Each structure stands twice: as C-alpha cells, then as structure tokens.
Amino acid sequence: MRQANKDSVYVIAEAGVNHNGERDLAFKLIDLAASAGADAVKFQTFDAQKLASVSAPKALYQQKTTDAAESQLAMLQKLELPRAWHAELQAHAKSRGIEFISTAFDSDSLEFLVSLGIPFFKVPSGELTNGPLLWQFARTGKPLVLSTGMATLSEVEQGLAIVTHALVNEQEPADLEQVWRCWSDAGARRRLHGHVTLLHCTSQYPTPLEQVNLRAMDTLQQAFGLEVGYSDHTEGLLVPLAAVARGARIIEKHFTLDRSMPGPDHKASLEPGELAQMVAQIRGLEQVMGVAGKSPQPSEWDTRKAARQQVIAVRDVAQGARLSRDDLGTARCGGGIPATSLWERVGSVAPRAYRAGEIIE
C-alpha cells in the first residue's frame, strides 16, 4: 500500500463492476481515478459460476437497478472482468501513477491476482465469514483490508481469529477450536498490527444516512486496536469526509462514468467531478486535522499581540500612591503586562505618575 506519507489517508476509487464488461470503459475508469488523485483503483475479479449458484437471488437494490427477472448468476456473468485484461489494466494504472488492485471472490481468482503481484488485498464484506477463503487471503502474506459490512462484532473477531491462524500456520485448521486456540495467543494476535485494517461499512446501495452508524468505526478500533477506515455506499461526499475527520485511515468509494448507466452499483457511485472533489477535500481535511498539541499557530502570533489586553491605569494616579482595584483596568495595548497580572498590582506602590489609559509596566 503506497502512500505519500504515513499520515495520508489512502483513497481507493472503487471501479468494481462499473466497467459493465466493456474493456474501453475499464481503461477509462483508471484514467478517471488517476486524474481525481486517488491512491488506488479497485476492480473485482471473480468467476460468476463459482460465486453464485443458479438459484441465488439478487439483493433488493440489485433488483431495483437491474432486470428483476434476471438471476444473480446471469447478472454477474455480464460483469466479469476477463483475466486477459488484468495485466494490461495493471500496466495502464502504473503508467498513470496509481495502484491497481482487485478483490477476489474465489480461490482461483485469488491465486491469479497473487501472480500479478497485487500489493494488498481488500476482503469484501460478504467474504468476512467465508473462513476457507479468508484463510487463503491471509496466507498470501499480503496486507489485508477487511470490510465489515453486515457483520456483528463477534463475526469480525472470528474473521480476525481466522486471519491470525493463517499468519502463524501453514495448514488449514481442522476446526474452529484450533482457530480460537490460536486467537488466545497474544503474540499471534500482535501479527495483525500493521498488517490488517478494518473498514466499517453498511452493505446497502445507496446507504440511507440514518444507517451509516459511523460510531461503529470507533468500536472496531477500540475492540481490536487496529487501524480503521470506511467503505462508503452513501450518495454524495458528506459521510466519507466525516469518516476521515473521525479517524479513517482508508476511504473506499465507488465511482462511475455516469450514474445513469445500467448496472447494480452505478446509482451509489460518484461521477468523475465528484470523485475529484472528494479526494481534494480529503487532502484538505488532512491539513485541517493537524496535531494533537494545543499551541498558537505561526499565523496567530501577530493576532495574539494585537488582540490580547494588558493592564492600564483607568484614571490618573500620583507617583507613590498605593494602587487600588479602581485604579486598574485592561485594554489592548500591544505590549505591557498581561491582564492576569492586574490582581497582583492591587496594593502595590506606583513607581511613577500615570495618566488614565497609560500602560502599567
């Protein structure tokens, strides 16, 4: 995972299946992601017949955005990314200065992507509970980004336990008891740090705002001590920007050439100008976040001098007179003793005569 600096949010422009099975459109999506300033462009690699059975139903959002009478298998077959395209797409992404990644949905597709030298793997939400495939993801040794849409906290923990087992064992577990025995080893669990990032996600396209639940991102971080991010399916830019402000280290967002295009994911995707705007605003937020320390910023020192008040005499005072509270006040003077020193001056002897409005040294 290549980042400009360790504090930079990693932005994944999710092309997914929005290429609609068209080679030229797949290349165009890479160009759009690169021009927008994303760090990576992500596709999906799968064999439709291995991913879905003939009886698998479509999700409700897929029924609304595609032919409701069409099976999930038939829909997926039209959205496969041919293996023959991958190396060319990867090379084109490299030429545009953006990382090419893809998500595998079956073992053969994962093995194929490993052969391409994919820098890290994003595990989709639907495969978090697919123990055998998740174990194989982890055995690649590549950094993992686990999406947690639809999952309970206990399912996330189970997924992390399976990943942990794979990181320290060469053979698949015989059962879940072996997985949990490995999970109980604190040393084994430490292998996850710096290796796995958890993405909060709501697997609805588009996601209603009231179902985003960004505080769950905090819960993931607190529960497992891992870096967290957010995979967004809402409309617009508000939620991914809010996630960055809340501490997301990775943002994944679907994008398309045109939201009106046919296909299951276009409606919940950003168009090119919006993607560029999101990336630009994320980069602005990185600057806004700053550091945890509270101190004057370089530009504030001049304002600090002009805006803060100092101690003055509010009426004429004779030399040698004992200063009373009624003699003293504060005003902006650009110099002198701070207003908090006023109390200490009450009862002291005036070293010289003061006129009303003069600075007390």
Token pair in block for residue 188: 């084994």
pLDDT in tens, 268-312: 899 999 999 999 999 999 999 988 899 999 999 999 999 999 999
pLDDT, position 5: 66
Nearest Cα to 79, choosing from 15, 133, 127? 15
pTM: 0.87
Position 214 scores a pLDDT of 98
The pLDDT value recorded for residue 96 is 98
How far is 181 from 51, CA to CA, in rounded Å? Answer: 31
For residue 122, give the H/E element and its range. strand 121-123
Comparing CA positions, the residue from 43, 249, 237 lying closest to residue 145 is: 249
For residues 155 and 128, the answer to whether their CB atoms sit within 8 Å is: yes
| Cα→Cα distances 242→14, 214, 245, 293, Å | 19, 8, 5, 21
Output the tens digit of pLDDT for each of the chain's 361 residues.
766 567 799 999 999 989 988 999 999 999 999 999 999 999 999 887 877 777 788 777 787 777 777 778 778 887 889 999 999 999 999 999 999 999 999 999 999 999 999 999 999 999 999 999 999 999 999 999 999 999 999 999 999 999 999 999 999 999 999 999 999 999 999 999 999 999 999 999 899 999 999 999 999 999 999 999 999 999 999 999 999 999 999 999 999 999 988 888 888 899 999 999 999 999 999 999 988 899 999 999 999 999 999 999 999 999 999 999 999 999 999 999 999 999 999 999 999 999 999 999 8
Pairing of strands 328-332, 309-313: antiparallel
Task: Identify the structural domains of the chain with CATH numbers, from first to last.
Answer: 10-46+81-289 (3.20.20.70), 295-361 (3.90.1210.10)
Using an 8 Å Cβ cutoff, are 228 and 247 in contact? yes
pLDDT at res. 131: 98
